[in-house]
Chains A and B, each alone.
Chain A
Amino acid sequence: QDNKVSGVVTARSDAQRIPGVIITVKGKNRGTNTDADGKYSIVANPNDTLHFSFIGYGAVDQVVGTNKVLNVGLESTESKLNEVVVTALGISREKRSLGYAVQELKSKDIADAKETNLVNALAGKIAGVTVTNSQGNMGSSRIIIRGETSIAGNNQPLFVVDGVPVDNSQLGIGTGRDFANAISDLNPDDIESLNVLKGPNAAALYGSRAAAGVLVIKTKTGKSAKGLGVTLNSSATFESLLVLPKFQDVYGQGSGGQFSYVDGKGGGLNDGVDESWGPKMDGRLIPQFFSNGQPAPFVAHPDNVKDFYETGYTLNNGVSVAGNSEKIDYRFSYNNTKQEGILPNTGISRNSFALNSTYRIAPKLTLSTFANYTRAGADNLPGVDGRRGNSVTLQFIWFGRQVDTRLLRNYKAADGTDYNWNHSYYSNPYWIQNENTVGQGRNRFFGNARLSYEITNWLSANLRVGTDSYNDKRKYKVAFYTNGTPFGSYTEDNYVVQETNIEFTLNAKKKINSDFTIDGLVGVNERTNQFEQNYQQAPKLAVRDVYTLNNSRDPLISTSYFSKLRVYSAFASAQLSFRDWAFLNVTARNDRSSTLPSENNSYFYPSVNAAVVLSDALGIKSNVLTSLKVRGGWAQVGKDADPYQLVNTYPFSQPFGAYPLLTVNDKYLKKDLKPEITKASEFGVEASFLNDRIHTDVTYYTSSSYNQILLADVSATTGYLKKLLNAGKINNHGVEVTLGGTPITTPSGFLWNINFNYAKNISKVIELDQEGYLNDYVLGSSGNIQVLASKGKRYGALYGKAYARDAQGRILVNANGTPQIANDKKVLGYYTPKWTGSVNNDFSFKGFTLGFLIDTRQGGSIWSGTNYTGIYTGVLAASLPGRDAEHGGLPYYYAGNNTNGTAVKLADHNAAAPNGETVYHDGIVFDGVTADGKQNEAILPAQRYYKSVYSSSLNESSVYSASFIKLREVRLGYALPQELIKKWGLQAVNLTVTARNLWYIDKKVPNIDPETAFNTGNGQGLETLQIPTTRSLGLNLRVSF
Chain B
Amino acid sequence: CQKQLEDINKNPNESEQVQPDYLLTNGIKANVDTYWGTDAAMETSLLYVQYWAKIQYTDPDRYIPAATSVQAVWNNFYAQGVADFTKLIELGDTLHNPNYKAVGIIMRSWIFQVLTDFYGDIPYSQAAQIDKYLTPKYDAQKDVYLGLLAELKTASGLITPAANTIAGDILYNGDMNKWKKFANSLRLRIALRISDKEFAAAKAVFDEIGADDNNLIVSNSDNAQLVYQASPNQNPVAKNRETRNDYRISKSIVDKLNQLNDPRLPIYGAVPRDTNKIVGVTNGLATDSAARLGFNKTSDVGAVFTATAAPAVLFNASELLFIKAEAAQIGLLSGNAATLYAQAVTTSLKQYGVSDLNVTTYLAQPAVLYDAANYRKSIGEQKWLALFGDGLEGFAEWRRLDYPKLPAAYTGALGGKIPARMTYPSSEQALNGTNYKDAIGRQGADALTTRLWFDKE
A646: chain B residues within 8 A (beta carbon)? 9
A155 to B: closest C-beta gap in Å: 23
A899: chain B residues within 8 A (beta carbon)? 289
Stretch at the interface among B35-43, B80-88, B343-351, B400-408: B80-88
Which chain B residue has the least Cβ–Cβ distance from A824? B429
Q: Check if A593 sits within 8 Å of B5, measured CB to CB.
A: yes
Q: Check if A714 sits within 8 Å of B134, measured CB to CB.
A: yes
Q: Mask for B110-130, Cβ within 8 A of A = 1, else 0?
A: 000000000000110011111
B136: chain A residues within 8 A (beta carbon)? 715, 717-718
Q: Check if B78 sits within 8 Å of A592, measured CB to CB.
A: no
CA distance A593 to B8 in the complex (A): 10
**Partner pick for A718 among B59, B67, B128, CB 8 A cutoff:** B128
Q: Check if B426 sits within 8 Å of A592, measured CB to CB.
A: no
A774 within 8 A of B: yes
B230: chain A residues within 8 A (beta carbon)? 554
Given A653-B26, A714-B134, A723-B130, answer yes or no on A900-B411 (Cβ-Cβ < 8 Å): yes
Which chain B residue has the least Cβ–Cβ distance from A269? B292
CA distance A530 to B17 in the complex (A): 25
Q: Check if B295 sits within 8 Å of A656, measured CB to CB.
A: no
**Partner pick for A649 among B15, B289, B291, B428, CB 8 A cutoff:** B15
Given A598-B6, A717-B123, A718-B127, answer yes or no on A647-B170 (Cβ-Cβ < 8 Å): no
| Chain A stretch 720-754: residues in CB contact (< 8 A) with chain B | 720-721, 723
A773 within 8 A of B: yes
CA distance A538 to B349 in the complex (A): 41
B334: chain A residues within 8 A (beta carbon)? none
CA distance A904 to B231 in the complex (A): 53
A416 within 8 A of B: no
Which chain B residue has the least Cβ–Cβ distance from A723? B130
CA distance A653 to B15 in the complex (A): 12
CA distance A664 to B30 in the complex (A): 12
B229: chain A residues within 8 A (beta carbon)? 656-657
A825: chain B residues within 8 A (beta carbon)? 426
Which chain A residue has the least Cβ–Cβ distance from B413? A814
Q: Check if A650 sits within 8 Å of B431, measured CB to CB.
A: no
Q: Check if A718 sits within 8 Å of B133, measured CB to CB.
A: yes
Which chain A residue has the least Cβ–Cβ distance from B19? A662
| Chain A stretch 938-959: residues in CB contact (< 8 A) with chain B | 943-944, 953
Kindly state the interface size class of chain A when it binds its partner.
35 or more
Which chain B residue has the least Cβ–Cβ distance from A277? B288
B75: chain A residues within 8 A (beta carbon)? 716, 721
**Partner pick for B5 among A540, A592, A771, CB 8 A cutoff:** A592
**Partner pick for A717 among B59, B288, B432, CB 8 A cutoff:** B432
B160 within 8 A of A: no
Q: Check if B134 sits within 8 Å of A773, measured CB to CB.
A: yes
CA distance A595 to B10 in the complex (A): 9
A666 within 8 A of B: yes
Name the residue in A265, A277, A592, A594 with the highest tally of chain B Cβ atoms < 10 Å from its Cβ: A594
B16 within 8 A of A: yes
Stretch at the interface among A121-129, A285-293, A563-571: A563-571
B25: chain A residues within 8 A (beta carbon)? 656, 659-661
Q: Check if A719 sits within 8 Å of B127, measured CB to CB.
A: yes
Q: Check if B80 sits within 8 Å of A566, measured CB to CB.
A: no
A723: chain B residues within 8 A (beta carbon)? 130, 134
Name the residue in B16, B233, B244 with the highest tally of chain A Cβ atoms < 10 Å from its Cβ: B233
Q: Check if B23 sits within 8 Å of A662, measured CB to CB.
A: yes
Total number of residue pairs linking A and B with CB closer than 8 Å: 219
Which chain B residue has the least Cβ–Cβ distance from A816? B411
A719: chain B residues within 8 A (beta carbon)? 78-79, 82-83, 86, 127-130
Given A270-B288, A650-B16, A659-B170, answer yes or no on A668-B130 (Cβ-Cβ < 8 Å): yes
Q: Check if B245 sits within 8 Å of A265, measured CB to CB.
A: yes
| Chain A stretch 223-268: residues in CB contact (< 8 A) with chain B | 255-256, 258, 265-267
B252 within 8 A of A: no
A216 within 8 A of B: no
Given A668-B130, A719-B82, A720-B130, answer yes or no on A266-B291 (Cβ-Cβ < 8 Å): yes
| Chain B stretch 1-60: residues in CB contact (< 8 A) with chain A | 1-2, 4-6, 8-19, 21-23, 25-27, 29-30, 55-56, 59
Given A566-B5, A661-B26, A713-B431, answer yes or no on A649-B231 (Cβ-Cβ < 8 Å): no
CA distance A680 to B410 in the complex (A): 61
Given A486-B243, A662-B15, answer yes or no on A564-B82 (Cβ-Cβ < 8 Å): no
B83: chain A residues within 8 A (beta carbon)? 664, 666, 719-720
Which chain A residue has the least Cβ–Cβ distance from B430? A776
A424 within 8 A of B: yes
A273 within 8 A of B: yes
Given A721-B75, A900-B410, answer yes or no on A266-B170 (Cβ-Cβ < 8 Å): no
Q: Check if A565 sits within 8 Å of B431, measured CB to CB.
A: no
B74 within 8 A of A: yes
B289: chain A residues within 8 A (beta carbon)? 256, 899
B442 to A: closest C-beta gap in Å: 16
A648: chain B residues within 8 A (beta carbon)? 16
B6: chain A residues within 8 A (beta carbon)? 594, 598
B294 within 8 A of A: yes
A652: chain B residues within 8 A (beta carbon)? 14-15
Given A717-B78, A718-B128, answer yes or no on A270-B292 (Cβ-Cβ < 8 Å): yes
CA distance A668 to B132 in the complex (A): 13
Q: Check if A721 sits within 8 Å of B232, measured CB to CB.
A: no
**Partner pick for B288 among A255, A593, A783, A784, CB 8 A cutoff:** A255
**Partner pick for A565 among B8, B19, B123, B244, CB 8 A cutoff:** B8
A653: chain B residues within 8 A (beta carbon)? 26, 30
A668: chain B residues within 8 A (beta carbon)? 130
Q: Mask for A843-855, Cβ within 8 A of B = 1, else 0?
A: 0000000000000
B79: chain A residues within 8 A (beta carbon)? 664, 666, 716, 719-721
B457 within 8 A of A: no
B242 within 8 A of A: yes
Q: Mask for B70-105, Cβ within 8 A of A = 1, else 0?
A: 000011001110111011000000000000000000
A-side interface residues toward B, CB under 8 Å? 255-256, 258, 265-267, 269-270, 272-273, 277, 424, 484-486, 539-540, 553-555, 557, 560-566, 568, 592-595, 598, 601, 643-644, 646-654, 656-657, 659-666, 668, 713-721, 723, 771, 773-776, 783-784, 824-825, 899-900, 943-944, 953
Q: Return 26 A-B CB contacts under 8 Å, by A number.
A: A255-B287, A255-B291, A258-B292, A265-B245, A267-B295, A273-B288, A424-B245, A539-B231, A553-B231, A563-B13, A647-B16, A653-B26, A656-B26, A659-B22, A663-B23, A664-B23, A664-B84, A714-B134, A715-B123, A715-B134, A718-B129, A718-B133, A718-B134, A720-B79, A720-B130, A771-B134
Additional 16 contacts, C-beta under 8 A, given A649-B14, A714-B431, A716-B75: A256-B288, A267-B295, A486-B242, A565-B8, A566-B8, A663-B23, A663-B80, A664-B84, A715-B123, A715-B431, A716-B427, A717-B78, A718-B127, A719-B79, A784-B67, A900-B410
B-side interface residues toward A, CB under 8 Å? 1-2, 4-6, 8-19, 21-23, 25-27, 29-30, 55-56, 59, 64, 67-68, 74-75, 78-80, 82-84, 86-87, 122-123, 126-130, 133-136, 168, 170, 229-233, 242-245, 286-289, 291-292, 294-296, 410-411, 426-433
**Lowest 5 A-B CB distances belong to which pairs?**
A266-B295, A719-B128, A719-B83, A649-B14, A717-B123
